[in-house]
Structure 1
Amino acid sequence: MAILLSTKSVRQDESFAFWREAVCDAYVLLDCQCEQSEGFDGEIVLNRMSRLSASFVSGSQQSVWRRRRDIARADEESFLISLQMVKEGGVRQHERETRLRPGDFALYSSVDRYNLELPDGFQQLVVQIPRDMLLSRLPNADLLTGIGVSGSSVIGRIIRDSAVRLVSAIDQSPETAQYALQDTVVDLFVTGLASLQDAKYELSKPEQQILLRADAAIRASLHKPEFDRQALADTIGLSLRRLSEIYQSDGRSISATIRNMRLNRIAAELKDERFARQSIGEIAFRAGIASQQSLARLFKTQFGMTPREYRRRN
């Protein structure tokens, strides 16, 4: 359920002090400054979900700083994404700086210093993603912080048009669908960030939409052990050969994508307190892996430890 944090709930002379506390409570330890604290206003509509947090933020001019002492005092490790909705904002990290126009977004990391510059009357969608969740999809994510993804590009337009609607829909969706929707939001942004890398292929808009549909179909079918390459092609309505070509153009194979999504789902549930009383076998079976021997081998290859060790460490 969304939480509203608004300066309208306090006296005007307390509004900026309240805002500084609210921002830290909503995200990570930060310092927030503004040129004119008198008459300051701001609002955060925050939704903390099982796997990520998403919020719509708006307000007066401000500068936000993540400092060394904030990092030293914190124990959370996450990536954040700011999607600019109104006015122009700025993101700076690792000597990389970008201006965000409406529709643009950028990635930044809580484990390093960063700075956000937000003008009067701005509005953003901010998504906070656990660090390991993003790195499992985008291993070089740290190299992509502070770089803007244009909302006017082919991929940027898809993300701009979809991310806000998906985030808004999660709260109104059945609990069983919320998990998959969170994954879809993350994968949308990963798709845009991957476009920043030197790529051998450039996907057309129809191909990109097919990939998004296919990835979503895989997540919705992970509980089916028999779900494979051919089943995915049948679901999407393409020949297996054509669908394989589209995945190869994105630098992936269908089989590896299905396998990795199964393993990532298992890893996420092994860390989730809601499933603490369930056996590893039950969790694996729900993700479509029935063989304990296969699970141990595949899981150790991807995460460097057995499922039991992973659960104990997390």
Structure 2
Amino acid sequence: MRWSSTEVEACDAFSYWADVVCDTFVGVAVRPRPDAAFEGHIDTSVLHDVAFASLTAGPQKVARTRRLIARDDRDVLLANVQLRGRARLEQDQQVAVLGPGSMAFVDSSRPYALDFADDFSQLVVKIPRERLSHRSLSGATAVELDASGPGGIIADFLINLDRLHRTDARAATVLLPHAVDLLESALAWATDVELPPASTALTRERVHRFVRQNVTDPDLHAATVAAACRVSRRTMYRALADDGESLTGMIRRLRVSHAQRLMSAHPEYVLSAVARACGFGGEAQLHRAFKAVTGMTPGMYRSRCRDS
């Protein structure tokens, strides 16, 4: 569903927005910056009992007080991923300043305040407390997970899962447990608690991310991937087992996808050049991989592109 302040008269825009925020997340007090016209919209979707909300809005302050908690006792974890702009989060006398790509947790059972000084965009994932095996959030809130570290891996996964749900709900449902596991990993870092199942999910996503970023490297193989992700090959294979796709199969599939994009965008490229650009050892290897993944040869694919 999509909610937008432009659906009502300008004089009612912010009060409408405040109601939507409370309905989407939890009961809060919302205040606009007095010297600016306000506009905001929220896109929401729900995977089972986990809600995703992508919002873009103008400057505002949000506060959840003890009185509001007493009126609305929804007990959820809110994972806030900053997409654009900056946000200041304060809870339990801890402060986090979020920039694009970073994330932090909010515990709805305790007071908190969010301050957005400028226009911003966020993805907020709302998870019922009972869905988490690691129930205690003490010390986890207002702890920023930086975009350059493991927090960036988790943020990327959540952003892509939200996008996937809009186009392929079935695939997103299959991946949802991995998202919960990754959030458990983030909770573990914030509270110094060991969660072995969550670390498996993190290893899986770290491997996926490294392979996507380096898939055109002809020297990409199991040893280099495991070393880059700082795990043993055995740990890497165990983390990938739930995917039903081997590391070799994933690399081959991604290289073929890259080859398809190149061939569509540059029909003048000879196949040997396409093979080199995608990380294949040569034209013959490209031909075998392309046939295995797509069921057709590169030449057949190129002919279809020309016909279309």
Interval containing the TM-score (normalised by the shorter chain): 0.5 to 0.7
**1:236-287 CA distance string (max 9 Å, x none):** xxxx99339988xxxxxx9xxxxxxxxxxxxxxxxxxxxxxxxxxxxxxxxx
- Identify if the C-alpha distance between structure 1 residues 9 and 78 changes in structure 2 by more than 3 Å, giving closer, same or farther: same
Q: Distance in 1 between matches of 2:172 and 2:204?
A: 21
Q: Find the partner of 1:196 among 190, 202, 216.
A: 190
Q: Is the 8 A contact 2:139 2:190 kept in 1?
A: no
Partner of 2:161: 166
C-alpha contact (below 8 Å) 1:44/1:58 kept by paired residues: yes
Answer yes or no: is 1:140 the counterpart of 2:152: no
> 2: distance between equivalents of 1:18 and 1:200?
43
Partners of 1:207 and 1:82 lie apart in 2 by 19
The amino acid of 1:182's aligned partner reads: L
Q: Which runs of 5+ in 1 are unaligned?
A: 215-239, 248-253, 255-314
> What amino acid is aligned across from residue 94 of structure 1 in structure 2?
D
Closer/same/farther in 2, CA of residues 94 and 200 from structure 1, 3 Å limit = closer
**Corresponding position: 1:152 with 2:144:** no
Cα shift at 1:122: 0.4
What amino acid maps onto 1:108 in structure 2? V
Paired letter, 2:165:
I
Structure with larger Rg: 2
Task: Give the counterpart letter for 1:10 in structure 2.
Answer: V
Partner amino acid, structure 1, of 2:176: Q
The correspondence of residues 1-314 of structure 1 with structure 2, limited to 5 A, is 3-36=1-34, 39-134=37-132, 136=133, 138-153=134-149, 155-175=150-170, 177-198=171-192, 208-210=202-204, 242-243=234-235
Amino acid at match of 1:243: T
Q: Structure 1-normalised TM-score? A: 0.61
- Aligned CA RMSD, in angstroms, stands at 3.1
Shift in alpha-carbon separation, 1:173–1:51, aligned structure 2, 3 A:
same
Q: Report the number of matched residues.
A: 214
- The residue identity in structure 2 corresponding to 1:152 is S
CA distance in 1, matches of 2:42, 2:29: 16
Identity of aligned residues (%): 27
Unaligned runs of 5+ in 2: 209-231, 242-308
Mark the CA change 1:165 to 1:178 in structure 2 (over 3 Å): closer, same or farther. Answer: closer
Summarize the Cα distance change of 1:199–1:65 in structure 2 as closer, same or farther, 3 Å threshold. closer
Secondary structure at the aligned position of 1:167 is classed as: helix
Q: Describe the SS at the equivalent of 1:142.
A: coil
Provide runs of 4+ in structure 1 moved above 6 Å: 211-214, 244-247
Aligned residue identity for 2:153: I
Q: Deviations over 1:121-167 (max 9, x none)?
A: 10000010001112x1x2432321111111111x1231232220111
Aligned mates of 1:129, 1:140 — CA distance in 2: 14
Say if 1:86 and 1:122, in contact at 8 Å, map to a contact too. yes
